[in-house]
Amino acid sequence: MLRTVFALVVIMVCGLLRLILPFRWIEQAGWAMVLAAFRIRVEVHGRPVQGGAMLLANHVSWIDIVALGRTVKASFIAKAEVARWPVIGAGARRIGCIFVDRSARIGALAIRGQIAARLAQGRRVVLFPEGTTGPGDRVLRFQSSLMGAQADGEAAPSIGRIAQKAAPFVVQPVGLVYRTARDRRLAAWLGDALLLPHAVRLAREGGVRLEIWFEEPFSATDRKAAARRAEAVIAARLAERIADQDATLKRAA
């Protein structure tokens, strides 16, 4: 319990400081302290792509955001409720989070415009295209609805003239792999589960090991095809790492 209290205090303090001081090291220190408080070990494989790109990742837990925030400088897509949280919401706006109400189609269209603007500025944007968290042993279907407006050339009007060609955009699949069945059980933050009880259980039962795999980036013009490709790459990585862990356990038995 003390670990949980410490981690929450860190988040609140760093959030307040970030509102006052425009220094990225504050949020970096905050992410690092939260990881340490919950004994979350992160292993990074590969490198984040440079320049404007969409980083598409599978999603298991709130831990994903902390680990990626510590690892790569990027804007995150967050649910609209986060913007209304005391301190944290204001801090999230300060660091460039983009808030989306997934229940409103017009909201999704506006968000795609914001993402496109960030990419045009040479900034990275992290999306969790599954739209929810999963159990960590498989990848849920990737949705493409929030991928940037510049990828909408396939829907461009063509009446009386040649349809506009979509501008290419860069995608980097990012695989988040919780290494063991125990890690996945502890990390998974599913459905309507509340954050605090989940954090308390994680702090009480011990840390987890997370691998972040920055896969080979690729250029695309069709957002749906890009989502399918990224999903396949991450699913293959996840299956490979779980099979490797299973083989290791069998040899040790």
Q: Evaluate the CA torsion angle 128, 130, 131, 134 in order and state its sign.
A: negative
Whole-angstrom distance, CA of residue 22 vs CA of residue 94:
8
Q: Which of 52-56, 62-66, 164-168, 201-205 has the highest mean pLDDT?
A: 52-56
Task: Quote the mean pLDDT of the chain.
Answer: 80
User: What are the start-end ranges of the H helices in the chain?
Assistant: 2-20, 24-37, 62-71, 88-94, 105-120, 181-187, 195-205, 223-252
Q: Across the strands, what pairs with 220? A: 169
194: exposed, middle or buried (C-beta count within 10 Å: 0-12, 13-18, 19+)? Answer: exposed
Q: What is the pLDDT of residue 87?
A: 52
- Per residue in 226-238, pLDDT (tens digit) is 999 999 999 999 9
Q: What is the pLDDT of residue 15?
A: 55
Is residue 246 within 8 A of residue 137, CB to CB? The reply is no
Whole-angstrom distance, CA of residue 24 vs CA of residue 62:
20
- CA 120-215-250 angle, 5° bins: 155
| CB contact set of 96 (below 8 Å; sequence gap of 6+) | 75, 76, 118, 123
- Per residue in 74-100, pLDDT (tens digit) is 888 877 776 766 555 665 666 678 887
Is residue 155 within 8 A of residue 105, CB to CB? The reply is no
pTM beyond 0.75: yes
| CB contact set of 216 (below 8 Å; sequence gap of 6+) | 46, 172, 173, 233
Which DSSP state fits 42? Answer: E
- Per residue in 127-175, pLDDT (tens digit) is 999 988 999 999 999 988 877 554 544 443 443 444 455 678 899 999 9
In order, the DSSP letters of 81-107 are: GGGGSTTHHHHHHHTT-EEE-TT-HHH
Q: What are the backbone dihedrals phi and psi of residue 106, each rounded to the nearest 5 degrees, phi first?
A: -65, -30
Tokens of 207: 């840390």
